[in-house]
Structure 1
Amino acid sequence: MVGFDDDLIQIKDRLNGPRSKRKVISIVGMGGTGKTTLARNVYDDPLIVYHFHVRAWVTISQEYCVRDILLSLLDSLRKLNDKMHRESEDELAEHLYKILRPGKYLIIMEDVWNTQA
């Protein structure tokens, strides 16, 4: 990962710094500049794996559906089962809330095109 060492260290420091309610760290730039590679290196870093009890990765894209995002998050967390495919968005959100609430979690949201997503 040439050229991103300082960025990687800065993001890891922010994630492992003083605890707050929530942090949003945006990695922005033109396509093909290595944003996903940087995020993947943060996500897979042993210190991050140790520090966050729950980690999930979801791709949003320009066209998105909240239900699909919830299902993808549950799948990424390895908590998705066949019954959940028939549940409402509210029920899926409740499952996700119960998983995330007790500990520290890291969610990588890749390919987000707007803040409403």
Structure 2
Amino acid sequence: MKDKHLMPLLSHLMSMLLLYNPVDPLAFLVRQINEMINFRDDPDKPVPILFNDDDLANVFKGIDFMNRGSIDLKQYFKAMNTLGLNLDGFNRYPEVDEDNRIECKVFVYEA
């Protein structure tokens, strides 16, 4: 299962179901899997996207509950993990400000 990356696939599909709450979950999952297969077979096709920029900005706002406009590296790692990304799936050294914090636009770009 680990060699075939089954758990990340299942996690991604479950996230898609929770995010979109489709009327016909089975047809929705088949469509998502077909999109992934098409992308794998033809890298010129658009990448299947789970979250748009507004969704990611809302995730950031949920983490930045003090409304500072930035989060620390620990919060950044937790957010990326919450989005279903493992350590190899995102930039572990994002651009930071002078206080060593990550702004929303950087978070959205990195996610």
TM-score, length basis structure 2:
0.32
Which structure has the bigger radius of gyration? 2
Give 1 or 2: higher helix fraction.
Answer: 2
Higher relative contact order (CA 8 A, sep 6+): 1
Give 1 or 2: higher strand fraction.
Answer: 1
